[in-house]
Copies of this chain bind each other. A is one copy, B any other.
Amino acid sequence: MPERVRLGIVGLGVEGAAYANFIAQGKVPNMVIGAVSDVNPAREEAAKEYGVKFFSDYKEMITSGLVDAVVTTVPHYLHPEVGIFALENNVHALVEKPVGVYTKQAQRLIDLAKQKPELKFGVFFNQRTNPLYKDLRELFVSGELGALRHTSWIITNWWRPQGYYDMSAWRATWGGEGGGVLVNQAPHQLDLWQWICGVPKSVFAKVQFGFRRDIAVEDEVNALVSFDNGATGSFMTATHDMMGTDRLEILCDSGKIVVENSKDVTIWRLKKPEQELSKAMSMEEVGKLFSGQLDTSAFMTKETKQYTSVWGEQHSEVMRNFAAAIHGEEELLAPGADGIHGVRLANAIHLSAWTGSEVSIEKFDDDAYLAQLNKRIREEGKFEERN
């Protein structure tokens, strides 16, 4: 059995401490804490509890020889910076979501990782370990339900009160965070949606910036996307709905999936592709349809399932899979390069809202997005522009 992977934790905040605890509690059997870094010297005390060395500079930790890999639990703009420094110094990188705030930055990390195939580069999409979404992806990819027609996700159970936004000066700013619900909360769904249904070609969006919260960035998003072959999708998210909805619907040529609250799944399977059933229907049956006498349930089966998923288990599983990939035992569940899709869709949604027009995802203009983002950082006047 190979040595356990020594993980360097960059940032010992709420998330970093949670990961450290999972490892310390033995929940990630193929991993140990190698060292901890944080810009806040007060966190050295906490690091001592894990019996590891503390660094105030993550770069010193990465070059110390004490860690084989790092995880980047730091503000979003830093994810690719830390990831790039790790890979440049031959340390594996498990990058928090989103893999970058803007595509140009995320792409730099992804391009570097391609040149270092001997190093593992993963993104922390813990929800990919959720059996519900793993099963849905498997079902969709199997082709059993046929081609996609339409999908919608209403995901408004990301309720965040004003006090959350007021916690840190960088939060919910263009220069410090680079966006709102699209960058902070919804990246999980932006990933799962595309992981299961595929990557859209274009998007039109109506985005509300500081709609019901006193913030510069978005607290509500409405997006309409086009996939290949005429399929469409709708994505709605917000942080101001205290009665949050989580409802995913996927309509295909030969069936349909509805997921409520990331727990209750209903799957309809048509006995033949819908267009065949439609074409084969006699005029007598059409007549019955209108008088309510046609039992369409005879043309399909309906399955319902309930799932439970435990928050901490997802995170431990991502770390276990990452260490197993380093050991050459498993494929990465969430390769870092996959992270570009969520970043690009989020950027394209912003850009569509800012320009009032539909935006190509296939031929996304990274520079146009960055220019618009920098315009907002400049007007905000609190942080430096990005490149």
Interface residues of chain A, those whose CB is within 8 Å of chain B, are: 14, 149-150, 152, 154, 156, 159, 161-164, 167, 204-206, 208, 211-213, 220, 222, 224, 226, 230, 232, 234, 236, 238, 240-243, 245, 247, 249, 251, 253, 255-256, 258, 268, 270, 274-275, 277-279, 281-283, 285-286, 289-290, 292, 296, 299-300, 311, 356-358
Say yes or no: A300 contacts B243, CB within 8 Å: yes
Give the most central of A167, A206, A253: most B CB within 10 Å: A206
Given contacts A224-B204, A242-B274, A251-B241, contact A152 B236 (CB under 8 A): yes
CB-CB under 8 A from A282, the residues of chain B are 163
Given contacts A154-B249, A236-B152, A357-B357, contact A277 B242 (CB under 8 A): yes
What are 23 residue pairs bridging A and B, where the CB atoms are less than 8 Å apart in the complex? A149-B238, A150-B222, A150-B236, A152-B236, A156-B251, A162-B279, A162-B281, A163-B279, A163-B281, A163-B282, A167-B283, A167-B286, A208-B232, A212-B275, A224-B224, A240-B278, A242-B277, A243-B251, A243-B255, A243-B256, A245-B258, A292-B311, A357-B358
CB-CB under 8 A from A253, the residues of chain B are 212
> Copy number of this protein in the oligomer?
2
Point out the residue from B222, B258, B289 that lies within 8 Å of A161, measured CB to CB. Answer: B289
Apart from A149-B212, A204-B224, A206-B224, what 5 extra A-B contacts exist at CB < 8 Å?
A149-B220, A163-B285, A242-B274, A245-B249, A357-B358
Interface of A is mostly: mixed
Cα distance A208–B242 in the bound complex, in angstroms: 34
Top 3 A-B pairs ranked by shortest CB distance?
A161-B281, A161-B278, A243-B256
Given contacts A204-B204, A206-B204, A212-B274, contact A224 B222 (CB under 8 A): yes
In the complex, what's the smallest C-beta–C-beta distance from A216 to chain B, in angstroms? Answer: 15
Point out the residue from B167, B234, B357 that lies within 8 Å of A234, measured CB to CB. Answer: B234
Cα distance A160–B43 in the bound complex, in angstroms: 64
Point out the residue from B211, B243, B278, B289 that lies within 8 Å of A268, measured CB to CB. Answer: B243
CB-CB under 8 A from A311, the residues of chain B are 292
Say yes or no: B278 contacts A162, CB within 8 Å: yes
CB-CB under 8 A from A156, the residues of chain B are 251
Cα distance A95–B205 in the bound complex, in angstroms: 37
Give the most central of A150, A238, A290: most B CB within 10 Å: A150
Say yes or no: A234 contacts B222, CB within 8 Å: yes
CB-CB under 8 A from A213, the residues of chain B are 278
Cα distance A167–B48 in the bound complex, in angstroms: 79
Say yes or no: B150 contacts A296, CB within 8 Å: no
Cα distance A258–B246 in the bound complex, in angstroms: 12
Cα distance A68–B156 in the bound complex, in angstroms: 52
